[in-house]
Amino acid sequence: MIFKHFRIYKNICFCRHSSSLSTIFALATGPQLRSGVAIIRVSGSLATQSLLKLTRETKLENFKPKQLYLKKIYHHKTNDLIDQCMTVWFKEPKSFTGEDVVEFHIHGSKAVAGAIFSTLSSFPNYRLAEPGEFSKRAYLNGRLDLTEAEGLIDLINAQTEQQRKQSLYQMQGSLKELYERWRLDLVKSLAHAEAYIDFHEDQHIENDILSDVINTVKTAYNAMSIHLQDHRRGEILRDGCRIAILGAPNAGKSSLLNILTQKPTAIVSPIAGTTRDVIESTIDLGGYPIVICDTAGLRITDDPIENEGVLRAVDRANTCDLLIIVVDISMLSLHENLNEQIDKHLSDLFTIKSSSFNSLTKLILLNKIDLTNENIRLKFQQLNDNIIPISCTLGVNIEEFLSKLTKSIAEKCTEPSFTTPYLTNERHRIYLTRTVDDLLMFLTFINNNQDLVLAVEYLRLAIRSLGTVTGVVHTEELLDVIFRDFCIGK
């Protein structure tokens, strides 16, 4: 049995210590030098040498790990005093990378950092770190799994409050816990299934063992399928909710964009066909990131450039998460039913490039209500819930529109939570989909009473794909893709 258990793990790469690697250094704080403090981080088996040589101390015992010491630091070759700064070291394995790490909290100038880089470069087996190399070492030394490392880079890139929460939870292991729980259940099932294959004919093996395996796999399969049917919530929050503003020429789309971005991002003019290209802006709405784009007015036109603009508008709308459609109220016949008039206006608009955008959430803005009289405004109470009468020029009902928009986006992303995390990137989706597909193959083989040995092969593949999400299984190529997005010093 022990031998069989070993077989399960034989293809899986476990953590590997890295004492033979070079010692690396980089600026851990942002790239602009000219700050009160900047931090240079050194990591590797020779890291403490830099602490002793730069401070001219002889004994490492003079530095307790994780304690700050104010020290004068000197150039190792020229003996020049470089700076007076705080220093700290973290003894392996209790450091970010799992290796010995030393930090110099220097005055943040190009000259000070340059002098320290020059002295560190002169040490044998020292070199400048590659982008993401500290985090990659942390992963290789088992300090982070891949989802936690991805959470870390997302936290560094977070622009809004909700992105901060989601990435922080992921960095603290929300996805890792979920995926590891599933993986370990499947690993146990695999071990039991193999035991059953090997011993059920000639030894006493409980009959229930196979049905337990099937139940566990079914439970994991169902949970993962639900996890995948998430309407891309985590990904929308990570990448920004994509919104397109659509409508006929002159409806007030560019005016609306300028209200949302609070600056004259797009040209507003009474000349129809002013906006041609898609104009994109990023904003923060109630902590949610939004990538909003203004588009060319939808109409049939002989002008090839404007026509290209209309095509681009439709293309963009097709790849969006949400649509805002602006309707100029003066285009409607106001004495008839307003909801029906708006429906007709939209269906005329969408026939222009035979689009429907059926699957998309739509907010409809009835703009230029400042041009209407009190009698017409009374009819607004009968409007459908997703139609908001506004005036871009006078700023009427803009608050109501913004709160409805925030609500729609919050529904698309939901509030991040540690206990119910959503997958946050395409990589997770690809490998989890493979996992689910292989689990389904396993269950189908079993249901059809097909070869159990072959069925178990699918279970093994599923475990492998799931392990690729967290990094229990990895290839160099996969690590390159993940860590190349990191900045130097992280």
Ligand X SMILES: Nc1nc2c(ncn2[C@@H]2O[C@H](COP(=O)(O)OP(=O)(O)O)[C@@H](O)[C@H]2O)c(=O)[nH]1
Separation of alpha carbons 115 and 121, rounded Å? 10
User: Nearest distance from residue 370's CB to Mg ion, in Å?
Assistant: 19
State residue 306 phi and psi, 5-degree precision. Answer: -65, -40
Smallest distance from ligand X to CB 271, Å: 8
3-class DSSP state of 122: coil
* Chosen from ligand X, Mg ion, none, partner binding at 124 (C-beta under 5 to 8 Å by type): none
Sheet strands side by side (includes 35-43): 69-74, 81-90, 101-108, 35-43, 23-27, 126-128
CB count within 10 Å of CB 481 equals 11
- Structural tokens at position 75: 């150039």
Q: Which does 415 bind (CB under 5 to 8 A by kind): Mg ion, ligand X, none?
A: none
From the list ligand X, Mg ion, none, partner contacted by residue 23 (C-beta under 5 to 8 A by kind): none
Cβ 296 to Mg ion, closest distance in Å? 7
Is 167 a binding residue for Mg ion by CB under 5 A? The answer is: no
CB of 87 or CB of 275, closer to ligand X: 275
Instruction: Work out how close the CB of 294 gets to Mg ion at its nearest, in angstroms, rounded to a whole number.
Output: 6
- Which range touches Mg ion (CB under 5 A), out of 5-13, 19-27, 249-257, 443-451? 249-257
CB of 401 to ligand X, least distance (A): 12
Closest to Mg ion by CB, 36 vs 270, is 270
CB of 396 to Mg ion, least distance (A): 20
Q: Which chain residues interact with ligand X by CB under 6 A?
A: 247, 249-255, 268-270, 274-275, 297, 367-368, 370-371, 391-393
**Closer of 29 and 281 to ligand X (Cβ):** 281
Tokens for 137, please give them: 């070492």
Q: Cα separation of 71 and 53, whole Å?
A: 12
Cβ–Cβ under 8 Å, residues 261 and 281: yes
The item of ligand X, Mg ion, none sharing an interface with residue 250, based on CB under 5 to 8 Å by kind, is ligand X
Strands 288-294 and 241-247: parallel
Nearest-angstrom CA–CA distance, 330 and 192: 71
Place of tokens 């285009």: 331
* Cα distances (Å, whole numbers) of residue 156 to 31, 95, 489: 13, 19, 12
Write the binding mask 21 to 40 for Mg ion: x where contact by CB under 5 A, - elsewhere. Answer: --------------------
Q: Which does 368 bind (CB under 5 to 8 A by kind): Mg ion, ligand X, none?
A: ligand X
Nearer to Mg ion, 18 or 254 (CB): 254
* Three-state DSSP state, 137: helix
- Identify residues 119-148 at the interface with Mg ion (CB under 5 A): none
Choice from 95, 254, 424, 465 touching Mg ion (CB under 5 A): 254
Among ligand X, Mg ion, none, partner that 371 touches (CB below 5 to 8 angstroms by kind): ligand X
Reduced to 3 states (helix: H, G, I; strand: E, B; else coil), residue 240 is coil
Residue 337: count of CB within 10 angstroms of its CB? 12
Which residue(s) pair with 478 in the sheet? none
Burial of 305 (0-12, 13-18, 19+ CB in 10 A): exposed
- x/- site string to Mg ion, residues 264 to 303, per CB under 5 A? -----------x----------------------------
- Which whole-number Å values give the CA distances from 440 to 195, 222, 450, 465, in the listed order? 21, 10, 14, 14
Closer by beta carbon to ligand X, 393 or else 406: 393
Residues that bind Mg ion (CB under 5 A): 253-254, 275
